Structure 1
Amino acid sequence: MKKLFFALFLICFFNQLDAQTIPEKGGRVDDKRTLEPQDTISRIERENRSFKDSKDSKDLKAKIQDYLIISHENDTTFVDTTLTIQKEYKFNYLRRDNFGLIPFSNLGQTYNSLTHDFQNTSLMPSFGARARHFNYMEVEDINYYRVPTPLTELFYKSAFEQGQLVDSFFTVNTSPQINFSIAYKGLRSLGKYQHILTSTGNFRFTANYRTKNNRYSVRGHMVTQDLLNQENGGLKDDPSVANFETGLEEFLDRSILEVNFENAESILRGKRFHLEHTYKIIKKKDSLSKNKLSLGHVISFEDKYYQYDQLAANTFFGDAFKNVVKDRATLENFYNQVQLNYSNNIIGDLQFNITNNNYNYGYDKLVLLNGNTITNRLKGDIFSAGGKYHKQYKGFDLQGELGINVSGDFDGNFLRAKATFKLNDDISAIASVNHSSKAPNYNTLLYQSDYIGYNWQNNFNNTETEQLAFQLKSKKIANISADYSTISDYVYFKKDETSNQVQAFQNSKSINYLRVKLDREIKVGKFALNNTILYQNVKDKDSTLNVPEFTIRNTLYFSSHLFKKAMFLQTGITLNYFTKYYMNAYNPLLAEFYVQTEREYGDFPRLDFFINAKIRQTRIYLKAEHFNSSLTGYNFYSAPNNPYRDFTVRFGVVWNFFL
């Protein structure tokens, strides 16, 4: 495997010598209309000519703005090859800004959440095993592309001990109408502690097509994912936790610390086939045309399972039915939606949709416990109806969406409304309201295990949430966001007082949850201070939703061109910090975090020193992570009994090729 990666990078390195030089730009396209059914013929003709020119011209005149990235929601951006502090924040395993998350010690393990967003537009329960879903790519995480010449991106980052993280991506338009992309993200990392090896893979393939007259368009993707973790249950309470916290030199070799078990592993595996297409019944012919009518269809099939294997049962999870544990929960979900879209210059954009979800969740056997039979499947059909609305009116951008389950075993509904107003070229304000009623996750309703204490069948009420949110965006002043949520019938995991094992519970009382976040960057010459501050306040009599009061990230950095602008350098120090709180603990059998109120964790600073450089389209990253670990005390945890990372130095690179 190492030889394969080495050969691949050598080939790409030499290709880089001949690669096309692209301007250092990236961001949204100037025309904020989406590329799908709403495009005008004139726009399509211009793009088609640019494709032809870029292929026919010997000088390859394609611009960076022509390399388009189209999200699930049809928001369009273009490829960004710049080196910014936001790129530094996204250079991680998830490849997105992970503010509000604290990772476990090994790359590819789970993350503990320091904040929660209760805005929701789902009508169906989620699968469960949520701690393993941070790197599980959902439909909303898949992008589509449109490029005048082939585009390649290679991502590499070193891991812990043996292994590496790589993400390879390639996309090409075989014609102005047809694009496909293929990508694979793979990780293998041994880790510093006993029995925490991780091995993950995410394969993605996308394709999109539209006819020359832009009347019919179709796009789809295929994704296969397998996320494997060895599980050790964390450090033993006695004596490993005490030995870790003393900081004695002999225990700085983390591999000698005892863990709760060394014979278990878990895997989340899934595959999905997704297709969406649209046909324009009445097509907008020019800019003065008032009416558009189109018919859309979305079809998606996903098959996934979570499996926990343990060679010998351990009293850590209580008594077991048998010595060799093999728990496996599966879900098959078949999704069909038919859409009718109508647009009018006066009314705006309207969509009506009807959706069917065919679901099949459960296990391969019945369980008899204390004279009661626990069923093995939850399956059926859910039919729902919904709609969307969008209108620009007197400087306001208005959006709305609603949905309701009209038949089936799960009730559910949601309503979301958002208004955006641009005060001037720098300041914009966004206000939104969200209501949701949704059934709890499948694994809280039904769970089976070879461990006796982990078998249940619950009849929980829907979780009801209402959220009001406001956001003010300004590059010159600051980005400020605030939301206030009220949650009723909140479902959570906690240790049962009788069995002392983790089970699902429902809080019948209301929870009030406030979040206020500030983003502000101050620049003086070549120096900058980037600040992110999050304040949270929870009113919850039963202490079922616990978050730190303050979460802070500050980065002081220096940026400058060097060597006659042949290289762009960025270097600085990042501080991450959160106040003490009753941090959730991790249960590897369920792959869920659960509430604990025995000890508070937090109040430790994490300092990272980084040096990043950009040469042409290559970005190089070098970071000394948590370099203060030996100076500020060994009280750093990602979850109870699961320490955060010690000081380590890691290296990485991102290459883009425009052929």
Structure 2
Amino acid sequence: MKRNLVLFFVFVFCCSHLMFSQQKTLGDKERFNNNTFVPRDTTNTNVKVKLSGKTKYTDYKILSFFKDTTYIDTTLTIKKHYKFNFMRKDNFELLPFHNIGQTFNSLGYQFDRLSLHPDIGFRAKQFFYLNVEDINHYDVPTPTSEIMFLTTMEQGQFLESFFTLNFSRRFNASIAYKGLRSLGKYRNSLVSQGNFRTTFRYETKEGQYTIRGHLATQDLLNEESGGLTTGALQSFINNDPNFTDRARLDVNLDDTENLFKGSRLYVQHDFKLLGKKDSLQQKNFTNLKIGHTFLSEGKSYEFKQNSSTSFLGTATATGAVNDRVENSFLKNEFFVEFNSKYVLGTFRVKSSLMNYSYGYSDIFNQNLPTNTRKLEGDGASFGADWNAKVKGFQLNATGEITPGNGRLSGTNLHGNLSYKKDSLFTIKASLLLNSKSPNFNFLLHQSTYNEYNWVNNFDNVRTQDLGFQFNSKWVNASANLTNIENYTYFGEDNQPYQSSENVTYLKVKASREFKYKKFALDNTIMYQNVSGGSSVFRVPEFVTRNTLYYSDYWFKGKPMKVQIGATFKYFTKYKANAYNPILAEFTLQNTTDIGYPTVDLFFNAQVRRTRVYFRVDNALSNVGNKNYFSAPNYPYRDFVIRFGLVWNWFI
């Protein structure tokens, strides 16, 4: 990973040198209010805005894994403000720990898109892990790059660099690296993470053959403190002036860390046997393709200590602890795809061959009856995808089944039907029926600690989710009703269980922004109710976020756009899950209620293609009681000022 980082920055430096040596770049002609800057609303694709003599912003395309097309956006909006964080996503439904790059507790859950196959687990480590569907491809007329920088919590920075170019109209490549190091305010809370990825996409002149793929390597290291000790917790709550320096507070663990690694190669290619021009039956059957998808991914999780401690349990040895588990997954998918008026769009038939291996190099605890070292197997799946469009209605459906009794066996059916009425509103309904094995760490786990060794033969978790979504210029709203059979969780004793009671979960969310002249109030509220299985599935009843801000262009000629405002966020009290550093999972607890308001202040500015962000997190932390926690024994962050920027270059 370090070698990849060095090579990447050498590459970026060379590209930057070439960029600034250009006699004529986009920046030479880009100005506000002279028809050469990207529009404020990049969703309006009818606006013809020139970035240079021959290009417009719609030429700089982002192609998602699902082949949706968006555009590289250099505007400053409140939605961009919400996404200015380490994940580059709006974390409204998440409760972060105090240090950047630590895990999140969950204020809400999403079940509208699930995979067919079990994963390695250790989910608290995977909030920052980029999966296949998180990797984008690009199509740009000129070399394009972006740098994001953000200060962290003591002795560290976050930097993400990205560069892409088209060698020709048909061949694009990109390279990116995300790096983070942050010491944290509390003892033993260091975060060090790296994420390298490179992509490519190519198609022949007539589009007969296309190929796209990516390579990603990721490592996520966290020191684990185990939270504050009982005495330190009281000092924090009582606001003892001797402990305003949070590094003076005692923690339960001082030589513990866990490391999650992953590497993946993904390639998809297809060959067109029959195009539109080859159709002999008035386009009744066109664009016949055959294709293949290859996926090879390896993940590992490692828990390390210099010496065992009674805080975590009873260990078989007093020396160093090094519990490591690995998981590999290999998949080859073959498909046939065609267009036809009889299916109202595109239809794909697919079949996959898969192989997995999960386990340990040795038996860590010979004194226990847990003598299973690995879980291995293979499987074959069959399925179809259907995309149809009739007037304003769009149907997207996918289905896949893996028959048999193995751990890969299961079914996944997902479909959504949407209707768009011009630019007034869009309505979408979705349905998910999913059955799959629990993650592997529920089935097999080994540790030097006696309490963390098990082998289970759990039933498949069956999930049904019905969703509705309404988007308009007046309000955006969504509702999801989810039923989960055989819900799998970790109990108070840190053991895995399957619930005998079905979990019935309702989530309703609505957002609306009100504007008056240069001021705006952006509101998001979420209501949740668990009518079944509430003893094992916990969420706050209400979560709300309200942002009041001022936005305007400053100085003569309007060279700078600014946003100044405050964000109020609140969630009602609930028994939030506790964090377990051995499992890197959240477990049930019945002693502590967590729920509180926070206020964040911000000043954002945009100058040409650079967005600058100043923010104050938890600005009122010095007012009132110290009752803000991310999980039991883990305080949320205190008052802190941070700075960051996002800078785009178009050569």
Aligned residues of 2:370 and 2:455 also touching (Cα < 8 A)? no
Answer yes or no: is 1:635 the counterpart of 2:620.
no
Matching residue of 1:34: none
Matching residue of 2:33: none
Answer yes or no: is 1:524 the counterpart of 2:516.
yes
Question: Per the alignment, in what secondary structure is the counterpart of residue 308 of structure 2?
Answer: coil
Matching residue of 2:446: 448
2-structure distance, mates of 1:395, 1:624: 45
Answer yes or no: is 1:24 the counterpart of 2:72.
no
Matching residue of 1:42: none
Matching residue of 1:341: 337
2-structure distance, mates of 1:637, 1:467: 31
Aligned residues of 2:55 and 2:141 also touching (Cα < 8 A)? yes
TM-score by length of 1: 0.91
Matching residue of 1:38: none
Of 108, 115, 128, the residue aligned with 1:122 is 115
TM-score by length of 2: 0.92
Question: Per the alignment, in what secondary structure is the counterpart of residue 140 of structure 1?
Answer: helix
Bigger shift: 283-292 or 612-621?
A: 283-292
Answer yes or no: is 1:366 the counterpart of 2:380.
no
Superposition RMSD on alpha carbons, in Å? 2.4
Of 524, 538, 553, the residue aligned with 1:546 is 538
Of 59, 62, 66, the residue aligned with 2:59 is 66
2-structure distance, mates of 1:382, 1:428: 39
Which letter does structure 1 place at the counterpart of 2:330? Answer: F
2-structure distance, mates of 1:17, 1:330: 52
Matching residue of 1:44: none
Count of residues paired in the alignment: 626
Aligned residues of 2:504 and 2:533 also touching (Cα < 8 A)? no
Structure 1's unaligned 5+ residue stretches are: 32-52, 497-501
Which letter does structure 2 place at the counterpart of 1:331? Answer: N
Of 283, 294, 302, the residue aligned with 1:289 is 283
Question: Per the alignment, in what secondary structure is the counterpart of residue 240 of structure 1?
Answer: helix
* Residues 1:210 and 1:309: Cα distance change in structure 2 (over 3 Å): same
Shift of the alpha carbon at 1:495? 2.4
Shift of the alpha carbon at 1:30? 4.8
Answer yes or no: is 1:605 the counterpart of 2:597.
yes
Matching residue of 1:439: 437
Question: Per the alignment, in what secondary structure is the counterpart of residue 107 of structure 1?
Answer: coil
2-structure distance, mates of 1:121, 1:94: 20
Matching residue of 1:352: 349
Which letter does structure 2 place at the counterpart of 1:336? Answer: N
Question: Per the alignment, in what secondary structure is the counterpart of residue 315 of structure 1?
Answer: coil
Question: Per the alignment, in what secondary structure is the counterpart of residue 161 of structure 2?
Answer: strand
Shift of the alpha carbon at 1:27? 4.2
2-structure distance, mates of 1:438, 1:592: 19
Answer yes or no: is 1:332 the counterpart of 2:328.
yes
Shift of the alpha carbon at 1:371? 6.0
Of 305, 309, 313, the residue aligned with 1:314 is 309
Structure 1 segment 146-165 matched on structure 2, within 5 A: 146-165=139-158
Shift of the alpha carbon at 1:414? 1.6
Matching residue of 1:264: 256
Structure 1 segment 489-528 matched on structure 2, within 5 A: 489-496=486-493, 502-528=494-520
Aligned residues of 2:365 and 2:447 also touching (Cα < 8 A)? no
Which letter does structure 1 place at the counterpart of 2:516? Answer: V
2-structure distance, mates of 1:149, 1:513: 47
Aligned residues of 1:367 and 1:376 also touching (Cα < 8 A)? no
Aligned residues of 2:116 and 2:410 also touching (Cα < 8 A)? yes
Matching residue of 1:103: 96
Structure 1 segment 571-610 matched on structure 2, within 5 A: 571-602=564-595, 604-610=596-602
Aligned residues of 1:124 and 1:439 also touching (Cα < 8 A)? yes
Aligned residues of 2:296 and 2:331 also touching (Cα < 8 A)? yes
1-structure distance, mates of 2:156, 2:568: 27
Answer yes or no: is 1:80 the counterpart of 2:73.
yes
Question: Per the alignment, in what secondary structure is the counterpart of residue 495 of structure 1?
Answer: coil
Q: Deviations over 1:557-606 (max 9, x none)?
A: 1111111211111111001110000000100111001111112111x211
* Residues 1:319 and 1:17: Cα distance change in structure 2 (over 3 Å): farther
- Aligned-residue sequence identity (percent) comes to 43
Shift of the alpha carbon at 1:405? 0.5
Shift of the alpha carbon at 1:407? 3.8
Q: Deviations over 1:519-578 (max 9, x none)?
A: 100111111100010000002356100000001111001111111211111111001110
Shift of the alpha carbon at 1:283? 1.0
Shift of the alpha carbon at 1:11? 6.5
Answer yes or no: is 1:249 the counterpart of 2:244.
no
* Residues 1:454 and 1:24: Cα distance change in structure 2 (over 3 Å): same
Which letter does structure 2 place at the counterpart of 1:108? Answer: G
* Residues 1:299 and 1:91: Cα distance change in structure 2 (over 3 Å): same
Shift of the alpha carbon at 1:121? 3.8
Aligned residues of 1:29 and 1:76 also touching (Cα < 8 A)? no
Which letter does structure 1 place at the counterpart of 2:132? Answer: V
Answer yes or no: is 1:299 the counterpart of 2:299.
no
Which letter does structure 1 place at the counterpart of 2:283? Answer: S
Which letter does structure 1 place at the counterpart of 2:448? Answer: D
* Residues 1:137 and 1:294: Cα distance change in structure 2 (over 3 Å): same
Structure 1 segment 352-501 matched on structure 2, within 5 A: 352-366=349-363, 372-407=369-404, 409-410=406-407, 411-475=409-473, 477-496=474-493
Bigger shift: 399-408 or 68-77?
A: 399-408
